[in-house]
Structure 1
Amino acid sequence: MAPMFFVVSVRKLLVMQFFTLGFYLTYWGYRNWKLYKAATGARVMPLVRCLFNIFFIYSLLAKVDRRLDDEGRGHAWSPAWLTFTLVVSALGAAALYKWVSLFPVMSLIANFGLLIVQSLALAKIQRGINFCEADLTGKANARLTPANWAWIAPGALLWVVSVVMTVSLVGGA
């Protein structure tokens, strides 16, 4: 049976989320919606749903939760709270953007903290999806591929540049 949702190991998800500065969430959303559409024939547009992921994340989690309920398999999670956490962390990061030039160190620390909060929520979500797809560890998609490394390299460089620029801004003040 074809998967309905995107399986990935939590470790790989977190590495990709961190080193793509959160952009992996867009790809992750696309893959989830594309698989859901293929498995159910639902009239959804994966590209639109991934680009506006923040508006569709609850719908995705509710579909995972409904499938688990339909199969009589419970999972310890709250789609509503996980969605709330992702939305608040995304809005927080957007709000901090304008403060970067005024308070560079605090902004960098706060953004890093929000990325951690977002990543913890994503880890919990992915455990739920992996449980739903009967691949608890995400073994089917645990290895980093050359394409993953192609995303990791520039992301790592951006992290280094961000830290160096922040240190130089503070040192020059």
Structure 2
Amino acid sequence: MAKYYYTYEGKTLGPVSPKEVLDLILDDVLSMDSSVMESSSPQWLKIRDIPELMRYLHESEVQITDWAEDKGFASIDEENVPLFFHIPVSRLVWLSLITFGFYEIYWIYRNWRFLRFHRKGRTAAYFGRDLRNPVDLVGVFSQISTDQELGGRYNGRDFTLNGWLWIVALLTQVARSILGFTPFLSVWVDFALTFGLLALSILCLVPVQKHINEGNAKAGKPLSRPTFGHYASIVVGLLAWLLVLFSLISRLVRLFA
């Protein structure tokens, strides 16, 4: 398999394998328009113009979508693109409640996608890869804090702590959902803990959303349009609520039987 050289920060690095080229794209070091040179050839070519690399990228487990095609398919009018995920705070709160927090996954995705797709010209096809890394998710909160278009550099706000608390609440809630309600706690304490974690995760997002909305209001940007993920999170969240209520009713029946 061919090896390739690439340039980064004025330095020529490599050689790297096609798999390593894929990793460099996912890490935002390279893009589809970056030029690389095969070790056996003196010619520099764009990644998109090398059949072997393109075949490997499209056959890989992580599918890389052409950013230009993705953008064209979405028919995005740059002037009307909201800054980050622009929705009313009240809607975020209620959707988080009725979806048992699953809407918050969609919320972080939309903000992540704004940074990845609109700002860096990258595809959003590998969100699942970054979702497994808490540092990357907290980085979204940090970048919202300092974003120039939102005026973050001038107000001294820092949402990094919000991000970490949100991650802790989310992971704890997910772990408890997988393991079931804690058997050694009373049913009411267990239920209160569940709602407490949900409330904590929502409270972590509210000031961030307010900051996003203020920046959009100043820039005259419209609200974000709902996508498939909006409706999917609602369906999944309602199913989660049914499971929670079923578990609660079952425990109450056993308690009073």
TM-score range, shorter chain: 0.7 to 0.9
Equivalent residue for 1:163? 245
Give the counterpart of 1:31 among 102, 110, 121: 110
Give the counterpart of 1:84 among 155, 159, 164: 164
Equivalent residue for 1:41? 120
Q: Which piece of structure 1 moves more, 56-65 or 91-100?
A: 91-100
TM (norm. structure 2) is 0.53
Where is the helix percentage greater, Structure 1 or Structure 2?
1
Deviation readout 1:4-42 (Å, 9 max, x if unpaired): 411111111112111121111221222222222333225
For 1:45-124, list aligned pairs within 5 A: 45=124, 47-48=127-128, 51-52=131-132, 54-68=134-148, 71=151, 74-75=154-155, 77-97=157-177, 98=179, 100=181, 102=183, 103=185, 104-124=187-207
CA distance in 1, matches of 2:96, 2:168: 17
Q: Write the letter of the residue equivalent to 1:100.
A: F
CA distance in 2, matches of 1:163, 1:100: 11
In structure 1, the gaps of 5 or more residues are none
CA distance in 2, matches of 1:121, 1:50: 20
CA distance in 2, matches of 1:38, 1:99: 37
Cα 1:65–1:42 change in 2 (3 A) is farther
Contact kept? 1:30, 1:47, Cα under 8 Å = yes
CA distance in 2, matches of 1:70, 1:155: 30
Contact kept? 2:85, 2:107, Cα under 8 Å = yes
Counting matched residue pairs gives 171
Contact kept? 2:86, 2:216, Cα under 8 Å = yes
Report how far residue 150 of structure 1 moved.
Answer: 6.9
TM (norm. structure 1) is 0.74
Report how far residue 92 of structure 1 moved.
Answer: 3.0
Contact kept? 2:106, 2:233, Cα under 8 Å = no
Deviation readout 1:59-107 (Å, 9 max, x if unpaired): 1122222224895764464312211221221233245444615134322
Larger radius of gyration: 2
Equivalent residue for 1:3? 82
Contact kept? 2:84, 2:115, Cα under 8 Å = yes
Secondary structure, aligned partner of 1:6 = coil
- RMSD of equivalent CA atoms: 3.6
Cα 1:9–1:19 change in 2 (3 A) is same
Cα 1:49–1:28 change in 2 (3 A) is farther
Contact kept? 2:82, 2:222, Cα under 8 Å = no
